[in-house]
Protein backbone atom coordinates (compact mmCIF):
# COMPACT_ATOMS: atom_id res chain seq x y z
CA UNK A 1 0.00 0.00 0.00
CA UNK A 2 1.32 3.39 -0.90
CA UNK A 3 1.50 6.12 1.73
CA UNK A 4 -1.63 8.29 1.67
CA UNK A 5 0.13 11.02 3.63
CA UNK A 6 2.81 11.17 0.95
CA UNK A 7 0.15 11.31 -1.75
CA UNK A 8 -1.42 14.34 -0.02
CA UNK A 9 1.95 15.99 0.54
CA UNK A 10 3.35 15.56 -2.96
CA UNK A 11 0.66 14.34 -5.35
CA UNK A 12 2.58 15.32 -8.47
CA UNK A 13 5.63 13.32 -7.43
CA UNK A 14 3.51 10.22 -6.71
CA UNK A 15 1.61 10.57 -9.98
CA UNK A 16 4.84 10.89 -11.96
CA UNK A 17 6.33 7.82 -10.26
CA UNK A 18 3.22 5.71 -10.83
CA UNK A 19 2.93 6.88 -14.44
CA UNK A 20 6.28 5.17 -15.04
CA UNK A 21 4.55 1.87 -14.44
CA UNK A 22 1.40 2.63 -16.33
CA UNK A 23 -0.95 4.00 -13.67
CA UNK A 24 -2.95 6.91 -15.11
CA UNK A 25 -3.17 10.33 -13.47
CA UNK A 26 -6.95 9.95 -13.41
CA UNK A 27 -6.67 6.81 -11.27
CA UNK A 28 -4.54 8.67 -8.74
CA UNK A 29 -6.72 11.79 -8.84
CA UNK A 30 -9.75 9.66 -8.03
CA UNK A 31 -8.01 8.49 -4.86
CA UNK A 32 -7.06 12.03 -3.83
CA UNK A 33 -10.69 13.00 -4.32
CA UNK A 34 -11.97 10.05 -2.26
CA UNK A 35 -9.49 10.83 0.47
CA UNK A 36 -10.69 14.39 0.94
CA UNK A 37 -14.31 13.22 0.89
CA UNK A 38 -13.38 10.61 3.48
CA UNK A 39 -11.86 13.20 5.77
CA UNK A 40 -14.87 15.47 5.43
CA UNK A 41 -17.25 12.67 6.47
CA UNK A 42 -14.89 11.61 9.22
CA UNK A 43 -15.03 15.01 10.84
CA UNK A 44 -18.80 15.09 10.60
CA UNK A 45 -19.28 11.64 12.11
CA UNK A 46 -16.73 12.21 14.85
CA UNK A 47 -18.30 15.52 15.81
CA UNK A 48 -21.68 13.85 16.22
CA UNK A 49 -20.18 10.99 18.17
CA UNK A 50 -18.52 13.44 20.53
CA UNK A 51 -21.95 15.00 21.16
CA UNK A 52 -23.50 11.63 21.95
CA UNK A 53 -20.74 10.83 24.38
CA UNK A 54 -21.09 14.18 26.10
CA UNK A 55 -24.88 13.84 26.37
CA UNK A 56 -24.54 10.33 27.75
CA UNK A 57 -22.20 11.61 30.40
CA UNK A 58 -24.81 14.19 31.36
CA UNK A 59 -27.52 11.52 31.53
CA UNK A 60 -25.41 9.65 34.03
CA UNK A 61 -24.89 12.77 36.11
CA UNK A 62 -28.58 13.62 36.03
CA UNK A 63 -29.52 10.10 37.11
CA UNK A 64 -27.15 10.27 40.04
CA UNK A 65 -28.62 13.67 40.97
CA UNK A 66 -32.07 12.02 40.89
CA UNK A 67 -33.18 14.49 38.20
CA UNK A 68 -35.05 11.88 36.20
CA UNK A 69 -36.95 14.33 33.99
CA UNK A 70 -33.68 16.01 32.94
CA UNK A 71 -32.15 12.63 32.28
CA UNK A 72 -35.12 11.65 30.16
CA UNK A 73 -34.95 14.69 27.93
CA UNK A 74 -31.18 14.38 27.56
CA UNK A 75 -31.67 10.75 26.53
CA UNK A 76 -34.13 11.79 23.87
CA UNK A 77 -31.75 14.40 22.47
CA UNK A 78 -28.90 11.92 22.52
CA UNK A 79 -31.00 9.35 20.70
CA UNK A 80 -31.71 11.88 17.95
CA UNK A 81 -28.08 12.88 17.59
CA UNK A 82 -27.18 9.20 17.62
CA UNK A 83 -29.51 8.63 14.69
CA UNK A 84 -27.73 11.31 12.67
CA UNK A 85 -24.39 9.88 13.72
CA UNK A 86 -25.43 6.46 12.40
CA UNK A 87 -26.26 7.94 9.01
CA UNK A 88 -23.00 9.87 8.83
CA UNK A 89 -21.02 6.79 9.83
CA UNK A 90 -22.71 4.67 7.19
CA UNK A 91 -21.74 7.22 4.53
CA UNK A 92 -18.23 7.30 5.96
CA UNK A 93 -17.89 3.51 5.88
CA UNK A 94 -18.99 3.37 2.26
CA UNK A 95 -16.39 5.92 1.21
CA UNK A 96 -13.70 4.27 3.34
CA UNK A 97 -14.39 0.92 1.71
CA UNK A 98 -14.18 2.37 -1.80
CA UNK A 99 -11.00 4.20 -0.93
CA UNK A 100 -9.43 1.08 0.52
CA UNK A 101 -10.39 -1.04 -2.48
CA UNK A 102 -8.87 1.44 -4.89
CA UNK A 103 -5.77 1.93 -2.78
CA UNK A 104 -5.16 -1.83 -2.70
CA UNK A 105 -5.04 -1.85 -6.50
CA UNK A 106 -2.31 0.80 -6.65
CA UNK A 107 1.18 -0.66 -7.11
CA UNK A 108 4.31 0.50 -5.34
CA UNK A 109 6.33 3.52 -6.48
CA UNK A 110 9.37 2.43 -8.50
CA UNK A 111 12.70 3.33 -6.97
CA UNK A 112 14.47 6.22 -8.77
CA UNK A 113 17.27 3.99 -10.08
CA UNK A 114 14.79 1.68 -11.83
CA UNK A 115 15.06 2.15 -15.61
CA UNK A 116 12.11 3.33 -17.69
CA UNK A 117 10.25 0.88 -19.87
CA UNK A 118 6.87 -0.66 -20.43
CA UNK A 119 7.65 -4.38 -20.40
CA UNK A 120 10.38 -6.98 -20.09
CA UNK A 121 11.99 -5.93 -23.38
CA UNK A 122 13.25 -2.80 -21.59
CA UNK A 123 14.90 -4.67 -18.73
CA UNK A 124 18.59 -3.83 -18.43
CA UNK A 125 21.21 -6.54 -18.40
CA UNK A 126 23.66 -5.70 -15.63
CA UNK A 127 26.22 -8.49 -16.09
CA UNK A 128 26.79 -12.07 -17.14
CA UNK A 129 28.75 -14.73 -15.37
CA UNK A 130 30.20 -18.09 -16.41
CA UNK A 131 32.92 -20.38 -15.18
CA UNK A 132 36.34 -18.84 -15.68
CA UNK A 133 35.15 -15.33 -16.50
CA UNK A 134 37.39 -13.93 -13.73
CA UNK A 135 40.38 -15.30 -15.68
CA UNK A 136 39.25 -13.88 -18.98
CA UNK A 137 37.40 -16.91 -20.32
CA UNK A 138 35.03 -16.27 -23.23
CA UNK A 139 31.32 -17.12 -23.10
CA UNK A 140 31.26 -20.93 -22.96
CA UNK A 141 30.99 -22.88 -26.19
CA UNK A 142 28.51 -25.59 -25.43
CA UNK A 143 29.10 -28.93 -27.13
CA UNK A 144 26.60 -30.85 -29.18
CA UNK A 145 26.02 -33.26 -26.30
CA UNK A 146 24.94 -30.27 -24.16
CA UNK A 147 22.56 -29.02 -26.81
CA UNK A 148 19.91 -31.54 -25.86
CA UNK A 149 16.71 -30.35 -24.20
CA UNK A 150 16.40 -31.50 -20.59
CA UNK A 151 13.07 -33.22 -21.22
CA UNK A 152 14.77 -35.53 -23.70
CA UNK A 153 17.72 -36.34 -21.48
CA UNK A 154 15.42 -36.70 -18.50
CA UNK A 155 13.20 -39.07 -20.42
CA UNK A 156 16.20 -41.16 -21.53
CA UNK A 157 17.47 -41.34 -17.97
CA UNK A 158 14.02 -41.90 -16.46
CA UNK A 159 14.35 -39.07 -13.94
CA UNK A 160 11.34 -36.97 -14.93
CA UNK A 161 7.88 -38.36 -15.75
CA UNK A 162 5.72 -35.55 -17.09
CA UNK A 163 3.06 -37.97 -18.33
CA UNK A 164 2.62 -39.37 -14.84
CA UNK A 165 2.43 -35.85 -13.40
CA UNK A 166 -0.22 -34.91 -15.96
CA UNK A 167 -2.21 -38.04 -15.14
CA UNK A 168 -2.23 -37.12 -11.45
CA UNK A 169 -2.76 -33.38 -11.55
CA UNK A 170 -2.89 -32.20 -15.14
CA UNK A 171 -0.18 -30.87 -17.40
CA UNK A 172 2.59 -28.70 -16.01
CA UNK A 173 2.61 -30.55 -12.70
CA UNK A 174 5.93 -32.38 -12.96
CA UNK A 175 6.69 -35.70 -11.36
CA UNK A 176 10.38 -36.33 -10.67
CA UNK A 177 11.57 -39.84 -10.03
CA UNK A 178 14.69 -41.68 -8.99
CA UNK A 179 17.81 -39.56 -9.30
CA UNK A 180 15.68 -36.68 -10.56
CA UNK A 181 13.81 -36.56 -7.27
CA UNK A 182 17.05 -37.04 -5.37
CA UNK A 183 18.65 -34.13 -7.23
CA UNK A 184 15.81 -31.86 -6.26
CA UNK A 185 16.21 -32.79 -2.61
CA UNK A 186 19.98 -32.33 -2.84
CA UNK A 187 19.60 -28.82 -4.23
CA UNK A 188 17.28 -27.70 -1.45
CA UNK A 189 19.49 -29.10 1.30
CA UNK A 190 22.57 -27.59 -0.33
CA UNK A 191 20.98 -24.12 -0.43
CA UNK A 192 19.56 -24.23 3.09
CA UNK A 193 22.98 -25.18 4.42
CA UNK A 194 24.57 -22.24 2.64
CA UNK A 195 22.14 -19.80 4.32
CA UNK A 196 22.37 -21.26 7.81
CA UNK A 197 25.01 -18.75 8.91
CA UNK A 198 22.61 -15.79 8.86
CA UNK A 199 19.07 -16.89 8.10
CA UNK A 200 16.72 -18.75 10.44
CA UNK A 201 15.12 -21.70 8.70
CA UNK A 202 11.32 -21.71 8.68
CA UNK A 203 8.92 -24.39 7.49
CA UNK A 204 5.65 -22.47 7.03
CA UNK A 205 2.23 -23.74 5.94
CA UNK A 206 1.81 -24.09 2.18
CA UNK A 207 -1.58 -22.41 2.24
CA UNK A 208 -2.52 -18.94 3.44
CA UNK A 209 -5.64 -16.99 4.37
CA UNK A 210 -7.01 -14.28 2.09
CA UNK A 211 -5.84 -11.67 4.59
CA UNK A 212 -2.31 -13.06 4.42
CA UNK A 213 -2.36 -12.84 0.63
CA UNK A 214 -3.45 -9.20 0.90
CA UNK A 215 -0.39 -8.31 2.97
CA UNK A 216 2.13 -9.19 0.30
CA UNK A 217 0.02 -7.65 -2.46
CA UNK A 218 -0.88 -10.94 -4.18
CA UNK A 219 -4.53 -10.15 -3.54
CA UNK A 220 -6.69 -8.58 -4.74
CA UNK A 221 -4.74 -8.08 -7.96
CA UNK A 222 -3.38 -11.51 -8.79
CA UNK A 223 -6.25 -13.79 -7.80
CA UNK A 224 -6.25 -15.44 -11.23
CA UNK A 225 -2.63 -16.51 -10.85
CA UNK A 226 -3.25 -18.54 -7.71
CA UNK A 227 -4.96 -21.76 -6.69
CA UNK A 228 -7.86 -21.13 -4.36
CA UNK A 229 -9.53 -23.40 -1.81
CA UNK A 230 -12.81 -21.50 -1.38
CA UNK A 231 -14.42 -23.87 1.11
CA UNK A 232 -11.76 -23.01 3.67
CA UNK A 233 -10.97 -19.46 2.58
CA UNK A 234 -7.43 -20.54 1.70
CA UNK A 235 -5.00 -20.07 -1.16
CA UNK A 236 -2.01 -22.19 -2.15
CA UNK A 237 1.08 -20.04 -1.67
CA UNK A 238 2.82 -18.89 -4.87
CA UNK A 239 6.03 -18.25 -2.90
CA UNK A 240 7.32 -18.47 0.69
CA UNK A 241 7.38 -14.67 0.61
CA UNK A 242 3.68 -14.85 1.50
CA UNK A 243 3.94 -16.59 4.89
CA UNK A 244 7.31 -15.06 5.79
CA UNK A 245 6.13 -11.48 5.26
CA UNK A 246 3.13 -12.09 7.49
CA UNK A 247 4.97 -13.86 10.32
CA UNK A 248 5.13 -10.64 12.32
CA UNK A 249 1.94 -9.15 10.99
CA UNK A 250 0.47 -6.46 13.23
CA UNK A 251 3.52 -6.36 15.47
CA UNK A 252 5.84 -3.62 16.61
CA UNK A 253 9.39 -4.93 16.66
CA UNK A 254 12.29 -3.48 18.57
CA UNK A 255 14.96 -1.92 16.40
CA UNK A 256 17.59 -4.13 18.05
CA UNK A 257 15.85 -7.22 16.60
CA UNK A 258 16.43 -6.04 13.03
CA UNK A 259 17.30 -7.25 10.55
CA UNK A 260 15.25 -10.43 11.01
CA UNK A 261 16.47 -12.80 8.32
CA UNK A 262 14.53 -15.91 7.41
CA UNK A 263 14.81 -18.69 4.88
CA UNK A 264 12.25 -21.28 3.87
CA UNK A 265 11.94 -24.21 1.54
CA UNK A 266 8.38 -24.52 0.24
CA UNK A 267 6.47 -25.71 -2.76
CA UNK A 268 5.20 -22.82 -4.88
CA UNK A 269 1.93 -22.99 -6.79
CA UNK A 270 1.18 -20.83 -9.81
CA UNK A 271 -1.72 -21.07 -12.21
CA UNK A 272 0.20 -19.20 -14.91
CA UNK A 273 -3.18 -18.07 -16.24
CA UNK A 274 -1.76 -15.33 -18.42
CA UNK A 275 0.82 -17.62 -19.95
CA UNK A 276 -1.40 -20.40 -21.28
CA UNK A 277 0.33 -22.26 -24.07
CA UNK A 278 3.67 -20.48 -23.68
CA UNK A 279 6.89 -22.26 -22.72
CA UNK A 280 5.04 -25.42 -21.88
CA UNK A 281 7.76 -27.91 -22.76
CA UNK A 282 9.51 -29.74 -19.97
CA UNK A 283 10.24 -27.68 -16.89
CA UNK A 284 10.27 -24.28 -18.58
CA UNK A 285 7.03 -23.29 -16.88
CA UNK A 286 5.28 -25.43 -14.28
CA UNK A 287 2.37 -25.05 -11.87
CA UNK A 288 4.29 -26.39 -8.87
CA UNK A 289 7.95 -26.11 -7.99
CA UNK A 290 10.16 -26.12 -4.93
CA UNK A 291 11.99 -22.97 -3.98
CA UNK A 292 14.28 -21.79 -1.21
CA UNK A 293 13.41 -18.23 -0.34
CA UNK A 294 15.45 -15.63 1.53
CA UNK A 295 13.62 -12.89 3.38
CA UNK A 296 14.36 -9.98 5.70
CA UNK A 297 12.49 -7.44 7.77
CA UNK A 298 14.82 -4.50 8.20
CA UNK A 299 15.11 -0.79 8.88
CA UNK A 300 15.13 1.53 5.86
CA UNK A 301 18.86 2.05 6.43
CA UNK A 302 19.54 -1.71 6.36
CA UNK A 303 17.43 -2.44 3.31
CA UNK A 304 20.00 -1.85 0.61
CA UNK A 305 22.56 -4.13 2.24
CA UNK A 306 19.92 -6.78 2.92
CA UNK A 307 18.87 -6.72 -0.72
CA UNK A 308 22.48 -6.96 -1.86
CA UNK A 309 23.11 -9.88 0.49
CA UNK A 310 20.21 -11.88 -0.92
CA UNK A 311 21.34 -11.18 -4.47
CA UNK A 312 24.91 -12.21 -3.60
CA UNK A 313 23.69 -15.47 -2.06
CA UNK A 314 21.50 -16.34 -5.03
CA UNK A 315 24.37 -15.61 -7.41
CA UNK A 316 26.75 -17.51 -5.14
CA UNK A 317 24.67 -20.67 -5.47
CA UNK A 318 24.63 -20.41 -9.27
CA UNK A 319 28.39 -19.93 -9.29
CA UNK A 320 28.97 -22.89 -7.01
CA UNK A 321 26.85 -24.93 -9.37
CA UNK A 322 28.96 -23.65 -12.25
CA UNK A 323 25.98 -22.44 -14.24
CA UNK A 324 26.05 -19.60 -16.74
CA UNK A 325 23.70 -16.78 -15.82
CA UNK A 326 22.87 -13.14 -16.34
CA UNK A 327 21.63 -10.38 -14.02
CA UNK A 328 18.76 -8.14 -15.08
CA UNK A 329 17.54 -4.91 -13.55
CA UNK A 330 13.79 -4.85 -14.17
CA UNK A 331 12.33 -1.73 -15.78
CA UNK A 332 9.44 0.17 -14.16
CA UNK A 333 6.81 -1.50 -16.33
CA UNK A 334 7.94 -5.04 -15.50
CA UNK A 335 8.02 -4.70 -11.71
CA UNK A 336 5.68 -6.81 -9.60
CA UNK A 337 2.84 -4.94 -7.88
CA UNK A 338 4.54 -4.57 -4.50
CA UNK A 339 8.12 -4.10 -5.57
CA UNK A 340 10.05 -0.84 -5.72
CA UNK A 341 13.07 -2.50 -7.27
CA UNK A 342 13.71 -6.00 -8.57
CA UNK A 343 16.75 -7.79 -9.90
CA UNK A 344 16.21 -11.05 -11.76
CA UNK A 345 18.70 -13.86 -12.27
CA UNK A 346 18.38 -15.92 -15.42
CA UNK A 347 20.29 -19.13 -15.91
CA UNK A 348 21.43 -20.12 -19.38
CA UNK A 349 19.99 -23.39 -20.51
CA UNK A 350 22.14 -24.71 -23.41
CA UNK A 351 19.78 -27.50 -24.44
CA UNK A 352 16.93 -25.12 -25.24
CA UNK A 353 19.21 -22.11 -25.83
CA UNK A 354 17.23 -19.85 -23.51
CA UNK A 355 17.74 -17.71 -20.43
CA UNK A 356 15.46 -18.99 -17.66
CA UNK A 357 14.42 -16.90 -14.66
CA UNK A 358 15.44 -18.69 -11.46
CA UNK A 359 15.46 -15.84 -8.95
CA UNK A 360 13.81 -12.52 -8.38
CA UNK A 361 15.31 -10.33 -5.68
CA UNK A 362 13.02 -7.51 -4.62
CA UNK A 363 12.96 -4.53 -2.33
CA UNK A 364 9.46 -3.50 -1.27
CA UNK A 365 10.34 -0.52 0.90
CA UNK A 366 7.40 -0.15 3.35
CA UNK A 367 4.71 -1.15 0.83
CA UNK A 368 4.11 -4.65 2.23
CA UNK A 369 4.82 -3.59 5.81
CA UNK A 370 2.08 -0.99 5.57
CA UNK A 371 -0.38 -3.63 4.36
CA UNK A 372 0.79 -6.16 6.94
CA UNK A 373 1.20 -3.48 9.63
CA UNK A 374 4.70 -4.49 10.68
CA UNK A 375 6.55 -1.67 12.43
CA UNK A 376 9.60 -1.12 14.58
CA UNK A 377 10.34 1.17 17.48
CA UNK A 378 13.43 3.33 17.29
CA UNK A 379 14.71 6.53 18.84
CA UNK A 380 12.98 8.44 16.03
CA UNK A 381 9.63 6.86 16.90
CA UNK A 382 7.62 4.01 15.46
CA UNK A 383 7.82 3.42 11.73
CA UNK A 384 7.17 0.72 9.16
CA UNK A 385 9.87 -1.84 8.46
CA UNK A 386 11.18 -2.47 4.98
CA UNK A 387 10.86 -5.94 3.48
CA UNK A 388 13.21 -7.54 0.99
CA UNK A 389 13.20 -11.04 -0.42
CA UNK A 390 14.55 -13.20 -3.16
CA UNK A 391 14.72 -16.77 -4.37
CA UNK A 392 17.89 -18.69 -3.74
CA UNK A 393 16.80 -20.52 -5.73
CA UNK A 394 13.76 -21.81 -7.64
CA UNK A 395 14.72 -25.37 -8.49
CA UNK A 396 12.72 -26.60 -11.49
CA UNK A 397 14.61 -24.50 -14.01
CA UNK A 398 17.93 -24.92 -12.21
CA UNK A 399 17.34 -28.64 -12.40
CA UNK A 400 16.78 -28.29 -16.16
CA UNK A 401 19.91 -26.16 -16.64
CA UNK A 402 22.02 -28.64 -14.65
CA UNK A 403 20.82 -31.61 -16.67
CA UNK A 404 21.61 -29.78 -19.91
CA UNK A 405 24.89 -28.14 -18.89
CA UNK A 406 26.36 -31.28 -17.36
CA UNK A 407 25.15 -33.80 -19.94
CA UNK A 408 28.03 -36.02 -21.07
CA UNK A 409 28.65 -37.39 -24.58
CA UNK A 410 27.37 -40.80 -23.42
CA UNK A 411 24.04 -39.30 -22.33
CA UNK A 412 24.67 -39.51 -18.59
CA UNK A 413 24.88 -36.43 -16.36
CA UNK A 414 27.86 -35.61 -14.15
CA UNK A 415 26.82 -33.10 -11.49
CA UNK A 416 29.15 -30.48 -9.98
CA UNK A 417 31.18 -31.71 -7.00
CA UNK A 418 29.49 -29.31 -4.54
CA UNK A 419 26.42 -31.50 -4.74
CA UNK A 420 28.25 -34.72 -3.88
CA UNK A 421 27.64 -34.42 -0.12
CA UNK A 422 23.94 -33.93 -0.76
CA UNK A 423 23.39 -36.18 -3.77
CA UNK A 424 25.71 -38.89 -2.45
CA UNK A 425 27.38 -39.19 -5.83
CA UNK A 426 27.67 -36.95 -8.88
CA UNK A 427 26.56 -39.27 -11.68
CA UNK A 428 23.07 -39.73 -13.04
CA UNK A 429 22.83 -42.94 -15.09
CA UNK A 430 19.81 -44.41 -16.83
CA UNK A 431 17.33 -45.90 -14.42
CA UNK A 432 17.59 -49.67 -14.73
Partner RNA sequence: GGAGGGAUGACAGAGCGGACGAAUGUACCGGUCUUGAAAACCGGCGUGGGCUUGCCCACCGUGGGUUCAAAUCCCACUCCCUCCGCCA
The DSSP secondary structure of 29-60, one letter per residue, reads: HHHHHHHHHHHHHHHHHHHHHHHHHHHHHHHH
- The answer to whether 100 contacts RNA (rule: CB under 7 A) is no
H or E segment and range at residue 82: helix 68-104
Longest dimension (CA), the chain: 103
State in angstroms the smallest separation of the CB of 133 from RNA: 47
**CA distances (Å), origin 118, targets 21, 25, 358:** 7, 16, 22
φ, ψ dihedrals at 138, nearest 5°: -75, 165
Residues in the chain: 432
From the list 16-24, 59-67, 187-195, 391-399, the region that binds RNA by CB under 7 A is 59-67
State in angstroms the smallest separation of the CB of 362 from RNA: 25
- The answer to whether 389 contacts RNA (rule: CB under 7 A) is no
State in angstroms the smallest separation of the CB of 380 from RNA: 12
Ranges assigned E (strand) in 255-300:
260-269, 288-298
Q: How far apart are CA 197 and CA 52, in angstroms?
A: 59
- The answer to whether 203 contacts RNA (rule: CB under 7 A) is no
From the list 60-68, 282-290, 356-364, 406-414, the region that binds RNA by CB under 7 A is 60-68
CB burial readout 97-131, b (16+ within 10 A) else e = eebeeebeebbbbbeeebeebeeeeebeeeeebbe
Our CB check for RNA shows the closer of 71 and 314 to be 71
Our CB check for RNA shows the closer of 27 and 56 to be 56
State in angstroms the smallest separation of the CB of 63 from RNA: 5
State in angstroms the smallest separation of the CB of 102 from RNA: 16
Q: How far apart are CA 397 and CA 358, in angstroms?
A: 6
- The answer to whether 5 contacts RNA (rule: CB under 7 A) is yes
- The answer to whether 379 contacts RNA (rule: CB under 7 A) is no
From the list 61-69, 157-165, 275-283, 357-365, the region that binds RNA by CB under 7 A is 61-69
- The answer to whether 82 contacts RNA (rule: CB under 7 A) is yes
Q: How far apart are CA 113 and CA 124, in angstroms?
A: 12
- The answer to whether 111 contacts RNA (rule: CB under 7 A) is no
* Total of chain residues touching RNA, rule CB under 7 A: 28
- The answer to whether 54 contacts RNA (rule: CB under 7 A) is yes
- The answer to whether 88 contacts RNA (rule: CB under 7 A) is no
Identify whether the C-beta of residue 345 lies closer than 8 Å to the C-beta of residue 315: yes
State in angstroms the smallest separation of the CB of 81 from RNA: 8
Q: Which residues would be at the binding site for RNA (CB under 7 A)?
A: 5, 39, 42-43, 46-47, 49-50, 52-57, 59-61, 63-64, 74-75, 78-79, 82, 252, 375, 377, 382
Amino acid sequence: MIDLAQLRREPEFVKAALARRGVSHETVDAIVELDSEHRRLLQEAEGLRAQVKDLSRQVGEARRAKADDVAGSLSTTSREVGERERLASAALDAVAETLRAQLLMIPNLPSPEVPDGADESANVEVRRWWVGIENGAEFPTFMAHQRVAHWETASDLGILDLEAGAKLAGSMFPLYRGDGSRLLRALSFFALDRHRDAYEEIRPPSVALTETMMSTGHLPKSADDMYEIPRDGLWMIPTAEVPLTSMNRGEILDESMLPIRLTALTPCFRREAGAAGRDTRGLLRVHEFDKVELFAYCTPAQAEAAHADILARAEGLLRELGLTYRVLELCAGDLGTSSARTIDLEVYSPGVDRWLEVSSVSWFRDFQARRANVRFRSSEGTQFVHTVNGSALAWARVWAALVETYRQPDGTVTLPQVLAPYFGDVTIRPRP
